[in-house]
Amino acid sequence: MDKLIIRGGNRLSGTIPISGAKNAALTLIPCALLTEEAVTLRNLPRLADIDGFQHLMTQFGVSHTIPGKRPDEFGRNVTLEAMRITSSVAPYDLVRKMRASILVLGPLLARTGEATVSLPGGCAIGNRPIDLHLKALEAFGAHIELAQGYVKASAPDGGLPGGEFDFPVVSVGATENAVMAAALCNGTSILRNAAREPEIVDLCNLLTAMGAEIEGIGTSELTIHGVDTLHGATYRVMPDRIEAGSYACAAAITGGEVRLEGAEAGDMGSTIHALRNIGVEIDSDKKGITVAAKGPLKAHNLTTAPFPGLATDMQAQLMSLLTRAEGTSVLKETIFENRFMHVPELARMGADIETEGRTAIVRGPVQLTGAEVMATDLRASMSLVIAGLAARGETTVRRLYHLDRGYERLEEKLQLVGADIERVGDD
């Protein structure tokens, strides 16, 4: 198994290209199940999760074509075609490693009238039940059964009639599943207290390009007028706001200056606000964002929240940055109850962090030192890389399969801006 070796202390400087968003791509891919025509997605990141989802799509009879492209280029274009659905079953072996697999439930149900999907896996960052996915689909007229680790959903004869659903709490995945299903319902569906994340806007924009009729895009109330059929489309995946925020933290912790080419500041408001309060300079234009840390970093209190609040996916990276800030910072995690698993690993590197429940207290600045650390989930992995870039000496990060799920060729991008980092095979 591979590991990363990081020799800290280099100031990052240069340009990093930002890839297509993983979280958006995993929502856009199942849209191909909603039409017989081809859906071409441009700027898909080359990630383990994307490859796994495409493999799952072949289970349903979806073909995918990847035009020739140099292997040293970031991103790729993929054409998906589901002319005929040959299976409506998503088996355990294909679903267990990736939570996003549940997003095939709504499209399969809407297109074929039935779907059997294994309960999903993914990062072990806390309890993430799918009950809201199922309740929303039931509100649209679906019959749901849970049996032997599978969700079995069926629609009435003639298809889902559509309906209304008020989310008791904001759920990104459930909103995505419901929107995809509603696009082919027989009537009008209304979702209230829907998630507003940029990735959901991206989903709605693709569905609209395919012929869906959606009102309220970008708001917490979505009205979807079901249509008989959707057609194919070509669509570019939005830039990855979490990847961009992660590299911003990497630049800042090294006192560097990095251009994040392709990053969209409009999707990163809460992250940019946090970085500026910590003392990081941020400039943006239509083509990207420039991040510079020219003075001392300052302590800052942060609380994660649904969009437009601070993304839970940025909490770990900002925590690493705050170990180098002057003063005491308090971070509150409101989304997941088990998302401080990176704290013991950061402590191995000299971080002064105390946790109590969903609150972490970070005291700084401390001089981080290199150590052997182990990744526990995707974003925790990146927090360890960020810490390693600022640490004195050599840091070894193990369990890279977490990183490979969400960061396209991470070490190559960091090498572009002067990081001393390499991937090596384990002994």
b (16+ CB within 10 A) / e for 127-137: ebebebbbbbb
Read off the DSSP letter of residue 181. H
Read off the DSSP letter of residue 377. S
- Residues pairing with 257 in the sheet: 13, 292
Scan for tokens 């942060």, then name that residue: 302
| Beta-carbon count within 10 A of 66 CB | 11
d(CA 328, CA 331) in angstroms, rounded, equals 10
Query: Would you list which residues are annotated within the binding site?
Result: 22-23, 99, 128-132, 313, 335
d(CA 226, CA 190) in angstroms, rounded, equals 11
Query: Would you list which residues are annotated within the binding site for phosphoenolpyruvate?
Result: 22-23
204 is known as an active-site residue: no
Which one of the listed residues 31, 123, 185, 249 is annotated catalytic?
123
d(CA 272, CA 53) in angstroms, rounded, equals 31
d(CA 124, CA 398) in angstroms, rounded, equals 17
Find all residues with CB under 8 Å of 412, minimum gap 6, and list them.
Answer: none
Element (H, E) at 387: helix 378-390
Query: Would you list which residues are annotated within the binding site for UDP-N-acetyl-alpha-D-glucosamine?
Result: 99, 128-132, 313, 335
d(CA 224, CA 189) in angstroms, rounded, equals 5
- Residues pairing with 78 in the sheet: 41
- Half-sphere CA count of 8, side-chain side, radius 13 A: 25
Q: What are phi and psi of 346, to 5 degrees?
A: -65, -35
Residues classed as catalytic: 123
